[in-house]
Structure 1
């Protein structure tokens, strides 16, 4: 373990996505587990992330929050892992496009739907909502992943990790419908050794937290 690379997380949070990325890059890291409410909202952790939420990453003197930003940062900080297309390559544009499409429209549309927030059927109102509608977001996402293994170039990238994690989580909990294209895309990515290791780690931590409660 090392203090140079630290993941602040909780095993039932978006930190599971970052955990997967940590396992993909293969660098030694230390985990700081934070409970909801107490430690996560405490003064010490707010010095790391003033929002008082996880995940967060500390790499030496650099602190990064927000899942998409953490993934993009790690992909560039550890190029030997091959999780980002080369800068200037034809695949770099799609890589950024789908990484941040997931962080923006997908996250917002799915969250709003889950909370029962309905966009008024008024062109003036709908124009204020960046994602337009949940169906538009899902249809666009389906077009990106249908009949392809990777959304940016010819190899797995942090964009695939993020999309697969969101789709897999959403289909598991019913916030995203189980479209055949989504299931076909997610399956091979969830079967990656790093994905399995990450799930095993967080599932074990979650079980330990439950037994201690």
Structure 2
């Protein structure tokens, strides 16, 4: 099935995370670029992803959405990449931090910087992340323990969390803490990271020329 991977994406979306993951795997895949708006709301695409958004990965007859889920799926379906946890201890940390980043951390960022809301202390118990600062401090601890999320071994968790931090540092939604900056700088030296960025940069330039 590795010859039947299709990535539906936009170079200015979370699809960049999945492209990086695919480049780490070193597999061949086809890219289908969708512009925002009507191209993502066609009958054909909604049959694939009813949310009408990207990224979506099609693997043979399987459809996977949500960037974090796609990264986990690819790591597990292609174990030879060694991007998935290899024992129960790694598995515990892998799932813990992957879904912390996809859930509490992203919610904290969105609420603070997109909606401009920060819940008071009396309401923080109702939120999955408590407060933006608590979420950030929690992520700092695992980054400091590095060099990677699982310690000495790079995995799909680093792809997802690294991409989240890179984006946040670039656009100011993540505090420029030294541990975050050093972590992203380390990841940015990976060949797969650089290939993925080059591919998406070329697509952005292509769209801007039209």
The TM-score with structure 1 as length reference comes to 0.94
Which SS does the other structure have where 2:175 is aligned? coil
Partners of 1:73 and 1:120 in 2: CA distance = 34
- What is aligned with 2:26? 26
- What is aligned with 2:100? 101
> Contact (CA 8 Å) 1:6, 1:57: kept in 2 or not?
yes
Q: CA deviation at 1:190?
A: 1.3
Q: Which runs of 5+ in 1 are unaligned?
A: none
> Contact (CA 8 Å) 1:108, 1:131: kept in 2 or not?
yes
- What is aligned with 1:47? 47
- What is aligned with 2:140? 142
Partners of 1:167 and 1:8 in 2: CA distance = 23
- What is aligned with 2:60? 60
- What is aligned with 1:110? 109
Partners of 1:17 and 1:25 in 2: CA distance = 13
Partners of 2:88 and 2:114 in 1: CA distance = 39
> Contact (CA 8 Å) 1:119, 1:133: kept in 2 or not?
yes
Is 1:77 matched with 2:77? yes
Question: Which of 159, 164, 170 lines up with 2:157 in the alignment?
Answer: 159
What do residues 8-39 of structure 1 show as CA deviations (whole Å, max 9, x unaligned)?
00000000000000100111100011010021
What do residues 58-83 of structure 1 show as CA deviations (whole Å, max 9, x unaligned)?
00110000011000000011111110
Is 1:195 matched with 2:198? no
- What is aligned with 1:5? 5
- What is aligned with 1:37? 37
> Contact (CA 8 Å) 1:48, 1:63: kept in 2 or not?
yes
What do residues 100-122 of structure 1 show as CA deviations (whole Å, max 9, x unaligned)?
11100111111111124323324
Which SS does the other structure have where 1:27 is aligned? coil
The TM-score with structure 2 as length reference comes to 0.96
Partners of 2:3 and 2:205 in 1: CA distance = 25
- What is aligned with 1:126? 124
Q: CA deviation at 1:126?
A: 1.7
Structure 1 residue ranges, 4+ long, deviating more than 4 angstroms after superposition: none
Q: CA deviation at 1:98?
A: 0.7
Partners of 1:179 and 1:93 in 2: CA distance = 26
Size of the alignment, in residue pairs?
Answer: 209
Q: Which runs of 5+ in 2 are unaligned?
A: none
Partners of 1:42 and 1:114 in 2: CA distance = 30
Partners of 2:171 and 2:114 in 1: CA distance = 14
